[in-house]
Homo-oligomer: A and B are copies of this chain.
Amino acid sequence: MKKLINKPEDVVTDELNGIVAAHSDLVRVHFDPNFIARADAPVKGKVGVISGGGSGHEPMHGGFVGMGMLDAACPGAVFTSPTPDQMLEATKAVNGGAGVLHIVKNYTGDIMNFEMAADLARAEGIEVEAVVTNDDVAVKDSLYTAGRRGVGVTVLAEKMCGAAAEQKRSLKEVADVCRKVNGQGRSMGMALTSCTVPHAGKPTFDLPEDEMEIGVGIHGEPGRKRMKLQTAAEITEMLAGPILDDLPFKSGDSVLAFVNGMGGTPLIELYVVYNELAKICAGRGVKIARNLIGSYITSLEMAGCSITLVKMDDDLLRLWDAPVKTPGLRWGV
């Protein structure tokens, strides 16, 4: 295992201390229970937007805390759900009196723990809504999931819900944005290599030197199929085709196209994939109105990529374009 770490059991704490050292102008980190919150939280009268999940997917979610996106993020151990007390304390810390939205990726542990935290917060008088993202078209049911997995759409929903909350929309309205983005979003990913969870010390799965896995999950969960390595054009078609067919996206639709690196894939390859995706979308009459290209929801050092498309409307475009100031995503300010 070759990693820039100290002890495997200290990775998340060391990373959080790095965030403290780097970004104390934007966020503060609470330890034990661990959560990252906006430096100015709670913002009075604004819906608080929270997410969380296992570490190892950076910059998601902790890198998206700040003005215009998340109010707090709860990092679990690597690839392990955070605990209800993290989510409860984060919920209390960001409650500005207008309620708190929990954005939850569809993994069994995350859902169970966020539900428990929501119940505890409600018992303390905080209004909580939860929206589950489940945009991965690769498989129905998976290693840690009943139903579809929540993946790339989560990043985009966090951005647009954060913007809606900044506009002082109500809890129901901010949750509606999340439901819409998830409902109109679809994703699929692929892996060229496995990744190694630090405390496991060996690759999560084996993938021969000439093979890839289509439809892989962000923790290395099995996908649709393993096959010999193909060209970027063929791989992009294998991801984009099922995504476009599933919603379905139709000629004339306007989309946000997100080409995401899994952590070990360089940017040059993501642009090669984006080029293929743009051709496929053009061929179907789907207009890419906005794009995001980079490694935003990762699986440690896994090589590979995922594609997410969200059907946009004027309101979503305005929410996407709104200013955001976080360590991992920033524009307009």
Residues of A within 8 A of B (CB): 2-7, 11, 14-15, 17-19, 21-22, 55-56, 58-59, 63, 192-193, 209, 212, 229, 231-233, 235, 263-276, 278, 288, 291, 293, 295, 298, 300-301, 303-305, 325, 327-328, 330-333
Contacts and interface: CB of A to CB of B under 8 A. Distances in A.
Given A22-B271, A271-B19, A301-B264, A192 B278 contact: no
Q: Which of A4, A18, A328 has the most CB of B within 10 A?
A: A4
A216 to B, nearest CB: 14
Contacts of A291: 22
Given A4-B273, A7-B231, 11 more contacts: A2-B193, A3-B192, A4-B265, A4-B272, A18-B271, A18-B272, A18-B273, A21-B274, A58-B266, A266-B295, A325-B331
Contact of A274 (B22, B264, B328): B22
Contacts of A21: 274-275, 278, 288
Main secondary structure of the interface of A (DSSP, over half): mixed
Would you list the 5 A-B pairs with minimal beta carbon distance, nearest first? Answer: A18-B271, A18-B275, A21-B278, A4-B269, A263-B266
B58 A267 contact: yes
Q: Which of A212, A268, A278, A303 has the most CB of B within 10 A?
A: A268
13 contacts: A4-B273, A5-B272, A6-B232, A6-B272, A14-B275, A17-B275, A18-B275, A21-B288, A22-B271, A264-B301, A265-B301, A267-B295, A325-B331
Given A11-B272, A15-B268, A264-B266, A22 B278 contact: yes
A233 B269 CA distance: 31
A167 B55 CA distance: 42
Contacts of A304: 4
Contacts of A11: 268, 272
Contacts of A269: 3-5
B300 A4 contact: no
A192 B263 CA distance: 15
Copies in the complex: 2
Given A4-B192, A6-B231, A303-B301, A15 B266 contact: no
Nearest to A233: B6
Contacts of A231: 5-7
A204 B274 CA distance: 27
